[in-house]
Structure 1
């Protein structure tokens, strides 16, 4: 008898929950990325949803880019998100790295024009092995380009340029004058906090 009561209670709890459609921000075309369930919309605020850029852009050549969005508000049966980070998959990164070449990682905190702090990881892959002074010059150039770009862009613009690959192409053009490059990728970004403006 007790078992039956518990099962009934569980069923009632489940019925009290409601499905919500989750949308990405305007920057990414307000595309629906899935559903989530909750008994109270307030409990969904702060929930992080993961999808791929392939799903968002309907371009499956970009399925190696994982995107993270955090629910910031709920209206009716819709949940709206903000971008909180991206990362390329490990196997994609592994496939790019070749022997007897240099992999130069640069991790930088970037402050945008609208006071948001985004931490990014840039990976530069050379055609042959670079020496220490060249590695240092490449890192310096990457830092200069990204810091300047962040200072003149709001978060939405910066994120769009990162995930589209436009910013990586700009970096590639600049660093290939220092040393022959095979590839430049912004492999990771994470929204750290909202800094005081």
Structure 2
């Protein structure tokens, strides 16, 4: 009998919970990210949802890009999020590395026009080996571009251009003048100062 009562309490506890539909920020057209369950709306704040850019955009050539969003607003049974970071899959990165070439990584802490900070890791894959001087020049070019681009855009604008490949394409055009370059990828990012949650 005791077991039955405990089971009953568990069922009642489950029924008391509600499902909340979670959506991406407006810059990503409020794409549906999934659902999360909670007994109180306040407990949904701060939860992190993960998906791929391919699933969000229905462009499955972008399945290699993992996206992370944090809930910062709840209205009714809907929860809205802020972008907190992305990363390309390790399999994709491994496939990009070739023998007798250089992989040049650059990590930049940038500030956007609206005062938010984001750490951006960009990788340049060359066609053949670059010497130390060329690698230094490429890193400086990437750093200068990221800092300038962030300064002229809001956080949301910068994030969208970053994950959709606009920034990589622009950087590629610049660094290929320094050394023959096969590809440039922004492989990882992390928002340092997330948007403060709306009072609740």
Give the whole-Å Cα distance in 2 for the aligned partners of 1:71 and 1:89. 23
Q: Which digits, 9 at most, give the CA deviation of each residue in 1:137-170, with x for residues without a partner?
A: 0000000111110111110110111011010011
**Contact 1:21–1:79 under 8 Å retained in 2:** yes
Runs (4+) of structure 1 moved beyond 2 Å? none
**Contact 1:123–1:185 under 8 Å retained in 2:** yes
Aligned to 1:141: 141
**Contact 1:69–1:81 under 8 Å retained in 2:** yes
Give the whole-Å Cα distance in 1 for the aligned partners of 2:20 and 2:50. 16
Q: Does 1:112 align with 2:112?
A: yes
Give ranges in structure 1 of 5+ residues lacking alignment.
none
Matches within 5 A, 1:137-176: 137-176=137-176
Aligned to 1:59: 59
Aligned to 2:180: 180
Aligned to 2:132: 132
Give the whole-Å Cα distance in 2 for the aligned partners of 1:157 and 1:8. 50
Q: Which digits, 9 at most, give the CA deviation of each residue in 1:96-120, with x for residues without a partner?
A: 0101100000011000010100001
Give the whole-Å Cα distance in 2 for the aligned partners of 1:148 and 1:194. 21
Aligned to 2:16: 16
Aligned to 2:95: 95
Aligned to 2:31: 31
**Contact 1:17–1:39 under 8 Å retained in 2:** yes
Q: TM-score, normalised by structure 2?
A: 0.96
**Contact 2:118–2:189 under 8 Å retained in 1:** yes
Give ranges in structure 2 of 5+ residues lacking alignment.
196-200
- Deviation at 1:4? 1.1
Aligned to 1:40: 40
- Deviation at 1:194? 5.3
**Contact 1:115–1:194 under 8 Å retained in 2:** no
Aligned to 1:3: 3
RMSD of aligned C-alpha atoms? 1.0
- Deviation at 1:185? 0.1
Give the whole-Å Cα distance in 2 for the aligned partners of 1:94 and 1:25. 31
